[in-house]
Structure 1
Amino acid sequence: MDRRPRRLSRQPLIARLSAMQIGQSIAFVLVLTAIGGCAGRQYGHLLANDDKDLVGSHAAGAATWNPLVEQSVAQLLSRCPPDVRPVAFEASDDMNLDPQAINAALTPGPATICFVGIENKSAEELGDFKDQLYEQIDSQINSGSYRAISRRVVETALRECRLRPDSLFLPANRDAFTATLGRSGTPVDYLLFATITSGTTDRNKTSQRDYLLTLEMVNVHSGDFLKESAKIRKGYSKTRAGKWWNYGPFDQGDG
C-alpha cells in the first residue's frame, strides 16, 4: 500500500484567488466609473440668511467683500453730515424777495452723494464682484438719511464731460461735472470714491493677503474730504493644517 502523503491540489486555491482578483478589479472599475460619471456634475442649494459665506480658496469672495463694504460705509456715513445747507446769498435792501423763497433756499435737506466708482489696485481681478460691490455701496448710501444719484446719470455725465473718475479730483473738472449734474436736475453735495488695495506676505507655501477698502468723500462746496477704510486679513495655504501651523497658539507665524 502506498503510504506517501498526497499533495493537495493548488487548483482550487488559484481559482479562488483569481476570483477575488477579478472581483476587486470589477469593484475598482465601478468606482472609477462612478467618479468619472460624477465629475461633470454640479449640485446647487439655496443658502439661508444665517448661513456663513463661502470662504474662497484662491481669491477674496463674499466672506471678504461683504464685511468690508458694511464696515467702511458705516464708518464714513457716521462722520459725514446727513444734511447740507446751501451757501447763503447776500440780498440788497432794494430787492423785493419772497421770505418763503429765502427760507426754502436756506432750509437744509438730505445730502446728495454721487458715487463715482470703484478703482481696483489690488493683486486680484474683481470679476463680477465689481458691479456687485458698486450696488452694495450705492444701496447702503441710499438707505434713508442720504440721497444717492443713479449710476446711469453719473455715467452719462462723465461721458458728456469726457472725464474719467480719477480726473474729478481736479477742481475745474469737478466743477464741470457737478454743473452737468445740476443741469440734469440732480445737484450733488458729495463725491464718493472707492479704492481696493491689497498687500501680500509669502512664507514658503503659505501666504497672507490683507484686503483694504478705502472710501473717500469730497465735499463739492468746500473741497473738504473725509476718508475711511476697512481691512480684512486672509491666509492661504496648501494643506488643511496650514492654518494651525502658521497661526497656531505658539506664534508660529513669526518666522
Structure 2
Amino acid sequence: MRRREFLKQTSWIGPVAAAVLVGGCKSTQYAHILKSDDIDLVGSHQAGSAVWNPLVDEAVAKLLSRCPDVHATRFETPDGQVVPNMPAGPATVCFIGIENKSAEEMVDFKDQLYERIDSQINGNGGFRSVSRRMVDVALHETALRPDSLYIPENRDVFAAHLGRAGSPINYLLYARITSGTTERNDTTQRDYLLTLEMVDLESGEYIKESATIRKGYHDSRAGKWWNYGPFKQADG
C-alpha cells in the first residue's frame, strides 16, 4: 500500500523532468568550424550559400570573359569639357548594386553577394572596380537613383562626378536576382536566376549574362526521391 501511494504521489516527476530536458535541448545550440572542402549547408526553407555562391561564380566568369578588358579612360564634365584620355589599362567597373526581385528576403546575403562579386572583379587582371563607398557618395551627391543611370544624360553626370573624384569609369554593372516557383502538393521547386548586366559608358551598349540553379523543397526526406527519382515522377 505504501509503495502504491508513493508511486501515485511521485508520478508527476517523470513528465516534469522530461519537459525540462526537452526545453533545455531546444535552447541549446552547437557549432563547429567548417573546413575549406566541406560542402555548403543546403537551406531547408530558402536559398543560402549552396545557391548564391555558385550563381555568382558562374555569372561573373561568363560576363568578364565577354567584356573587353583594356580601355582608354575618358569622361566629360557637365560644362562639356572632355578630360584627355588616360593611358590604356584595366577596364574600370562601377558596380551599382543588387536588385532583389525574387520571392525571398535576402537578409544578410545581399551585402555578402555584393562583396563576392566586387572581389571577383578585382581579382581579374583585366578589370578593377570602384570603391562602394565612392559609388554611394556619388549617387547621393548627384541625387540619382541606380535605375536612372540608364538615361545617357544622367549617366554622364554620374561618370563626371566619379571622374573628378579620381575614379573615371568604363562600365556600369547591375545585378538582379529573380526566382520562379513551381508547386506540386507538398513539394516546391524554385528556380533562382542571377543576371549581370554590364553597360559600356561610352557607347551605351550592354552585355548581359546569367546563371541559374534549381532547388527542391520537400516536407519529408523521401520527397526528393518521390519527385525527382529514377522514374521521373515530377512530370505528372
TM-score by shorter chain over 0.5: yes
Show CA shifts across 1:165-199 (max 9, x none): 01111111111110111111100000000000000
Relative distance call for 1:67 and 1:17 in structure 2 (3 A) is farther
| 1:128 partnered with 2:108 | yes
Give structure 1 stretches of 5+ with no counterpart. 1-13, 88-103
Number of aligned residue pairs: give it: 226
- Aligned twin of 1:100: none
CA contact (8 A) 2:60 2:196 kept: yes
**2-side partners of 1:55 and 1:212: how far apart?**
17
Relative distance call for 1:231 and 1:21 in structure 2 (3 A) is farther
| 1:173 partnered with 2:154 | yes
- Kindly report the root-mean-square deviation, in angstroms, between the aligned alpha carbons of the 2 structures: 2.3
Show CA shifts across 1:12-68 (max 9, x none): xx9999999999975554333211122112222111111111111111111110110
Show CA shifts across 1:77-108 (max 9, x none): 11111111357xxxxxxxxxxxxxxxx95742
Please list, as runs of the form range in 1=range in 2, the aligned pairs for 1:64-75 lying within 5 A after superposition: 64-75=51-62
**2-side partners of 1:168 and 1:126: how far apart?**
24
The equivalent position to 1:251 in structure 2, one of 223, 232, 235, is 232
- Aligned twin of 2:50: 63
Identical-pair percentage: 61
| 1:234 partnered with 2:203 | no
**2-side partners of 1:18 and 1:244: how far apart?**
54
Please list, as runs of the form range in 1=range in 2, the aligned pairs for 1:141-220 lying within 5 A after superposition: 141-143=121-123, 144-220=125-201
- Aligned twin of 1:101: none
The equivalent position to 2:24 in structure 1, one of 32, 37, 61, is 37
**2-side partners of 1:166 and 1:140: how far apart?**
23
**2-side partners of 1:209 and 1:18: how far apart?**
60
Q: Secondary structure at the match of 1:210?
A: strand
**1-side partners of 2:185 and 2:235: how far apart?**
13
Q: Give the aligned residue type for 1:41.
A: T
**2-side partners of 1:15 and 1:250: how far apart?**
64
CA contact (8 A) 2:171 2:198 kept: yes
Deviation at 1:221, TM superposition (A): 1.1
CA contact (8 A) 2:73 2:170 kept: no
Q: Which has the larger radius of gyration?
A: 1
Give structure 2 stretches of 5+ with no counterpart. 75-83
The equivalent position to 1:48 in structure 2, one of 35, 49, 53, is 35
Deviation at 1:147, TM superposition (A): 1.1
More strand by share: 2
**2-side partners of 1:21 and 1:208: how far apart?**
53
**2-side partners of 1:234 and 1:86: how far apart?**
42
| 1:77 partnered with 2:64 | yes
**2-side partners of 1:129 and 1:177: how far apart?**
27
Q: Give the aligned residue type for 1:129.
A: F
**Normalising by structure 1, what TM-score?**
0.82
Deviation at 1:145, TM superposition (A): 2.5
